[in-house]
Amino acid sequence: MSDEFTQLPGINESGGSNVGVTCVAARSALHYHDKEQPTRWDLNVYRGGTHGCRYCFARYSHDYIGSGDFFGHIVAKSNLPGLLHRELSRSSWKKEAVNLGGVSDSYQKAEASMELMPEILKIFIHHSNPVLISTKSDLILRDASLFAQLSVKAEVRVAASIITSNDYLASLLEPGASPPSHRFAMLKAMKQQGIKTYILLMPVLPYLTDTMEHLEAIYQKASKANVDGILAWPLNLRGQVKPAFISFLREHFPALVPLYLGLYDRSEVTGPYLKSVMEIVAELRAKYGIGTIPRFKTGKSDEQQMSLF
């Protein structure tokens, strides 16, 4: 099915730097799902990811074409622009918001050379269709003018995934992503273009990024960037994410391993720990006047409307 294979720098499963990119012809652009978070419609330009996030859940959510290495084998859907135009042109399409990258970052390293996003954004502009996107890359600034054009015609929300303001810690947790300092700068630049901006402070990592001091540093920088909202939630260790993250801790923070094993007797934190984290978040929201992420306008009643993320 593939028609092209190239190499680019990145982080693969074994920690190496050679990442393969395979171009394929997708059968459809928009994908519907039952969950209303962030929307019922996703458009995933890529499969796989070059950010190398140690807590990544998405690497286990795909059945890859010829490869199980989420970080080392990127699949680019090179025919998406044409498919998208056809699907948005259907009379049955209701101009619902589309999440640009539900399980894979649309502005990961492959996009620098593939340049699929500019054409995709031009199609959304043509159809005046709302979009939302979350990224760990400042490459999105390359297309800031296109997001600005679309924001005049439809609602646009740009979010950065930021779990720490410490560039060094981020380099351990997300070795292939843009440093948090660059992501904050990206949000400020997007806001100056008149675009709504948000932060996904997810996941909050127990004993690493969950203190008042650590979380407040993010809210301080978010305030300076005039961010519209922040959504925070603790780490989920479901499925194979747990052994992968525990392995990371053994290498970099071995003293935390028994604490994690004690805290995560199930996939999610609950009880007193969850309450303590959310109390810190609530205090910071009040202090900095930065709320959570509001419901996305869908034309439905308030009860039917969905959260952005």
Determine the Cα–Cα distance for residues 120 and 177; give it in Å rounded to an integer. Answer: 22
Say what percent of the chain tops pLDDT 70. Answer: 83
Q: Is the pLDDT of residue 210 over 90?
A: yes
pTM of the model: 0.86
If pLDDT is split at 50, 70 and 90, which confidence band does 294 have? confident
Strands 306-307 and 295-296: antiparallel
pLDDT at 297: 66
If pLDDT is split at 50, 70 and 90, which confidence band does 71 have? low
Determine the Cα–Cα distance for residues 207 and 63; give it in Å rounded to an integer. Answer: 33
Q: Is the pLDDT of residue 307 over 70?
A: no
If pLDDT is split at 50, 70 and 90, which confidence band does 187 have? very high
Q: Is 41:99 a contact under the CB 8 Å cutoff? A: yes
Domains of the chain, earliest start first? 4-307 (3.20.20.70)
Q: Is the pLDDT of residue 281 over 50?
A: yes
Residue labelled with tokens 């400042």: 138
Q: Is 28:87 a contact under the CB 8 Å cutoff? A: yes
pLDDT at 184: 99
Q: Is the pLDDT of residue 116 over 70?
A: yes
What is the Cβ-side half-sphere exposure of residue 151, based on CA atoms within 13 angstroms? 19
pLDDT digits (tens, 9 = 90+) for 1-11: 233 333 334 43
pLDDT digits (tens, 9 = 90+) for 75-99: 889 899 999 999 999 999 999 999 9
Stretch 123-150: mean pLDDT, rounded?
98
pLDDT digits (tens, 9 = 90+) for 49-68: 777 788 776 555 544 444 45
pLDDT digits (tens, 9 = 90+) for 3-51: 333 333 443 443 434 567 788 899 999 999 887 677 889 999 998 777 7
Stretch 176-186: mean pLDDT, rounded?
96
Residue 254: cis peptide before it, omega within 30 degrees of 0: no
Stretch 195-209: mean pLDDT, rounded?
97
Determine the Cα–Cα distance for residues 189 and 194; give it in Å rounded to an integer. Answer: 9
Determine the Cα–Cα distance for residues 159 and 136; give it in Å rounded to an integer. Answer: 9
pLDDT at 24: 87
